[in-house]
Amino acid sequence: MAKSIDVSDVNIYYGDFKAVEGVNMTIKAKAVTAFIGPSGCGKSTFLRTLNRMHEVIPGARVEGKITVSGQDLYDPGVDPVEVRRMVGMVFQRPNPFPTMSIYDNVLAGNRLNSKKLKRAEADAIVEKSLRGANLWTEVKDRLNKPGMGLSGGQQQRLCIARAIAVEPQVLLMDEPCSALDPISTAAIEDLIHELKDSYTIVIVTHNMQQAARVSDETGFFNLKAAGQPGHLVEFNPTKKMFTNPDNESTEAYISGRFG
């Protein structure tokens, strides 16, 4: 079941360096939220805090509170692995596991979580996940073939299938179309629209038109000045953001005057 995310006074550090400061927002369930902003403003860094992926970098830490339907993701008693199961992630470049078949790629997360599956159960998960990623009809007759043998757009949809196979409540996507051609990009955008009926989806994108097309709400991140932390300048319904933003710098970025 999709869940909302509440972010309160979040600061993000790498060692002594404060990368992002003072983020407050509520990300709605069963909606698509997009983060936009110039390179280096902290939007991908912030995205990774939503499933504690930033913790793989030594010295990274978070101040403040991030809750998913009331559960504090950073409570000392919360297992980061469980957070990452609940809040899945799709990365910028498709990353199927190179030595695995399409079938095994889909099940990788389940097996990582030490979930023992009967063959019929595994078959059902694979088919459901590939159908959910709108890939089943294209690969159903070659499930034992390597995932790396698919096209770039198919590989990205395979990664989405792998992410949803463990039944997350939230799906994060960090520039999911930046490495894809226009036809594959359109397929991923159509898929995002379909998936929001079941998941809370958060994407980072540099593509203004993509943010306008796929998202319900948009957050604009920017730097206060060179060398200063990134911060959330504005967070509003996407239609308002792209037609009548509250902040002058938001309008300047969207219109292409900087960034």
CATH code where residue 140 lies:
3.40.50.300
Domain count, the chain: 1
Tell me which residue of 68, 65, 49 sits closest to 57, measured CA to CA: 49
Residue 92 DSSP label = S
pLDDT in tens, 194-229: 999 999 999 999 999 999 999 999 999 999 888 889
For residues 240 and 220, the answer to whether their CB atoms sit within 8 Å is no
Model pLDDT, residue 210: 95
d(CA 190, CA 185): 9
- Residue 160 structure tokens: 């989405």
Residue 68 above 80 pLDDT?
yes
For residues 3 and 171, the answer to whether their CB atoms sit within 8 Å is no
Q: What average pLDDT is seen over the chain?
A: 93
Beta pairing, strands 60-68 & 87-90? unpaired
Model pLDDT, residue 97: 94
Model pLDDT, residue 69: 82
**For residue 39, is it within any domain?**
yes
Model pLDDT, residue 81: 87
Q: Which residue has the higher pLDDT, 69 or 42?
A: 42
Residue 1 above 70 pLDDT?
no
pLDDT in tens, 123-162: 999 999 999 999 999 999 999 999 999 999 999 999 999 9
Buried/exposed code over 129-157 (b: 16+ C-beta within 10 A; e: otherwise): bbebbbbbebbeeebeebbbebeebbbbb
Which domain covers residue 85, as residue numbers?
5-254
Model pLDDT, residue 144: 97
d(CA 254, CA 126): 40
Find the mean pLDDT for residues 173-185.
91
For the ranges 25-34, 66-75, 134-143, which has the lowest average pLDDT?
66-75
Residue 116 above 90 pLDDT?
no
**For residue 78, is it within any domain?**
yes
Model pLDDT, residue 130: 96
**For residue 80, is it within any domain?**
yes
Model pLDDT, residue 114: 66
**For residue 259, is it within any domain?**
no
Query: What are the distances in angstroms from CA 123 to CA 106, 140, 166?
Result: 10, 11, 14
